[in-house]
Amino acid sequence: MSATTSKPLPGSILVAVDGPALARWVVWLVEALRQRPGAQVYLRVEEKPCEASTALASLLGLEKMLVSRRLVAGGDRIPRSEIDGSFLEPAGFAPDVVIDLRASPSSDLAASAIRLRPLYDGHPGEQALVSALFFRETPQIAIEKMEAGQALGMIVATGTASLEAKSCIGSGMEAVTSRVITLLLKVLSGYAGEGLIASSIPVRPIGRKDVAVASVRDIAQQAARAMYRLCCYESHWRVGWRFVEPGQDVWSRGDLAGKRWNVLPDPVDHFYADPFPLHWRGRDYLFFEDLDHKVGKGVIAVAAFDDAGRPGQAVTVLEEPWHLSYPFLIERDGEVFMIPESSANREIVIYRASDFPLKWERHAVLVENVEAADATIVEHDGLFYMFAVTREGFGGYSDTLAIWWAEDLFGPWHPHRQNPVLVNDRTARPAGNFIRMNGGLFRPVQDCRRAYGADLGLMKVRQLDREGFVQEPHGRISAGGPEWPGKRIHSLNYNGRLETIDGYNRRPKLKLAADWVDWWSRPRG
C-alpha cells in the first residue's frame, strides 16, 4: 500500500446522520472537526425510524442497566432536542465536504461537495457496525471518498479498532467509532491511501430475539465475572526469562521453543509485566512493571542477576503519582536512560539513571499533551524514531500507531507527517525493542484481535523515514503450549544474552491455590 498527502480538505463540513443513530460519538465527531483551524461544521439529523433501530435501542438500554458502569459512553442515544442549537445546520449552509453517516446515503446533500462515508465491512450506517460487533468481531473501517460528479467512490483510509475494553455492544461501538473519528481527521488533513480495498460481509440486522438472547448472555457473563473476581485477581501477568545464544532466540527460531523459560517469582497480590533486560558493566539486570492488585497502579522495579545467572529480589526504582509501565531502556554517552509509559500524565518523559540501577531522575519531556503508551525508540538512517500507540480519551489503547522523529535523543521531536501512521489492532502497538537481523529492521507488536495482548506479531520494517512507514508480517508467536502456558503473551526483548517475555495467567487470591496454579502452569520446554 502507498499513500499520498496533499493540502487539507476545506473546513466547511456537514455531518449527516439518521435520527435513530444519533449517538454521543457523533457529537464528539462534530466537536473534533470544529477544532480544525477555520472550520465551519454543522450537523443534520434525519428521522428514519426502523425496527432494527428500535431493537438496538432496547439492547443498549439493557446493557446500560446490566453491564455499563460509565455515566457517559460513545454509543449512548441522544434525542435531537438535546443537541446544542449551534451544532445544527443553518438554512442556506453550503458545505464543501459532507461526512455521511446515514445507512442509505443519496445525492440529496450538497451535490457539489466532496463526500466522505465511513463503511463497516463494506457497508454504511450504524446497523452494519452493530451487525459486525454482535455476530462477528471488530469490523474493518473504511473511509470512502467521492468527488463531486463521480459515480463511484475511492477508499482512502482503512483501519481496525481494538476491542480490549469491550464489555458489551455499546462499548464496542465506542471503540470502533473513536477510530472512525481518527481516520476522518486524517483524511481531512490531506492523507489519501492508494490501492485500498473495503471488505464486504453481509449485514444481518439484530431483532428482538437477538436482544433477548443478549440479555441472558449479559446476565450470565456478569455473574461469571463477579464469581471470578471473588476468587482470582484480574489481568495477572508474569515475566519469563532465559539466557540463550544468538540463533536460539525467538526471533531466530520463530517460536518459543528451545531452552526452557524461567518464571520470575512474584507475590500473590502483585503482577510483573513488560520486562526489559540490560547488560551493564558486566552484570545483567531486568527492569519491569510491578503492579499491586490492591492499588491498581504500576511502578518500575528491577531484579539484578548474580554471577550464577540467578535473579535477585525485585526492588522498586521508580514511582510516580500516576501509573508507570513498559520501562524502555536506551544507552547514550555512557549513561542509561529510561522512558516508562506515563500516559495517565499525558506526556512522554525520559529519565536518567543518577545512581544505576536504583535511582532515576526526570531528565526531559520528549512529547507533551499526548496520551501515549509503550514508547519505543530506534535509531535508523541517522535519525531517531519513536513509536507509541495513542488515543484521545476514549477507545482502545492498542490500535493507533504514531511516530515522532528527532535528530537527537532529547529532541526536539517532530510528529510524522502521516500520523497516525496506522490504525490496526494486530500490528500497531509496540511489544519491545527493535532488532536488526539479516540486514533488516524488525519490531515486535501486540496482536490484540482476540484480546488485549493475545499474541505477538513479528513485523519487518520496509520503509521508515520522515515521509512514510511500511511494515509487513514476518511471523506470529502464541502462548498456550508447553513452552509458555497461559492465554496471552505481549512483549519480547533480547539483548544478545538475556531474552524475556511476559504472559497472562490466572492468579487465585489464596496463596496455596496460587502456588498450585504456578506449579501447574510452569514452562515444560
* pLDDT for 52: 57
Q: What is the mean pLDDT of each run of 10 residues along the chain (525 residues)?
A: 67 91 93 91 82 69 66 80 89 92 76 91 92 90 87 90 84 92 94 84 80 70 66 81 96 94 90 96 97 92 96 97 97 96 95 97 97 97 97 88 97 95 96 95 94 91 95 93 86 96 77 60 70
Q: List Cα–Cα distances, 362 to 92, 325, 351, 372, in angstroms.
A: 55, 15, 4, 18
Q: Which residues contact 157 (CB under 8 A, 6 or more apart)?
A: 142, 143, 183, 186, 187, 191, 192, 193, 196
Domain residue limits, the chain:
2-228, 234-520
305 touches 284 (CB < 8 A)? yes
* pLDDT for 47: 78
Q: Cell digits for 288?
A: 519491569
Of the candidates 65, 47, 16, 59, the residue with the CA atom closest to the CA atom of residue 172: 59
450 touches 444 (CB < 8 A)? no
Rg (CA), the chain: 24
Q: Cell digits for 384?
A: 531517531
* pLDDT for 1: 47
pLDDT digits (tens, 9 = 90+) for 276-316: 999 999 999 999 999 998 888 999 999 999 999 999 999 99
Exposed, middle or buried, 351 (CB in 10 Å: 0-12/13-18/19+)?
Answer: buried
- Looking at domain 2-228, its CATH architecture is 3-Layer(aba) Sandwich (3.40)
What does the DSSP assignment read for 125-177?
Answer: SHHHHHHHHHHSSSPEEEEEEE-TT-SS-EEEEEEE---TT-SSHHHHHHHHH
Instruction: Please give the order of strands across the beta sheet that includes 114-120.
Output: 40-46, 12-18, 97-100, 114-120, 140-146, 154-160
* pLDDT for 180: 97
Assessment of whether the complete model's pTM goes beyond 0.85: yes
Q: What is the DSSP letter of 520?
A: H
- Residue 15 and residue 39: Cα distance in Å, rounded? 13
Of the candidates 446, 519, 394, 347, the residue with the CA atom closest to the CA atom of residue 25: 394
Omega of the bond leading into 277 within 30 degrees of 0 (cis): no
Q: Cell digits for 109?
A: 446533500
Number of helices followed by number of strands (H, E) in the chain = 7, 31
- Residue 317 and residue 257: Cα distance in Å, rounded? 32
Q: How many CB atoms lie within 10 A of CB 313?
A: 9
- Residue 378 and residue 161: Cα distance in Å, rounded? 26
Q: List Cα–Cα distances, 325 to 250, 352, 448, 483, in angstroms.
A: 23, 16, 18, 25
Of the candidates 139, 161, 120, 125, the residue with the CA atom closest to the CA atom of residue 52: 125
- Residue 271 and residue 247: Cα distance in Å, rounded? 30
Strand bridging mode 232-233 / 507-508:
antiparallel
Domain 234-520 CATH class label: mainly beta
Give the HSE-up count for residue 455: Cα atoms under 13 Å, Cβ half-sphere. 16
Q: List Cα–Cα distances, 429 to 178, 400, 456, in angstroms.
A: 17, 7, 10
Q: Cell digits for 389?
A: 500507540
Of the candidates 451, 458, 454, the residue with the CA atom closest to the CA atom of residue 493: 458
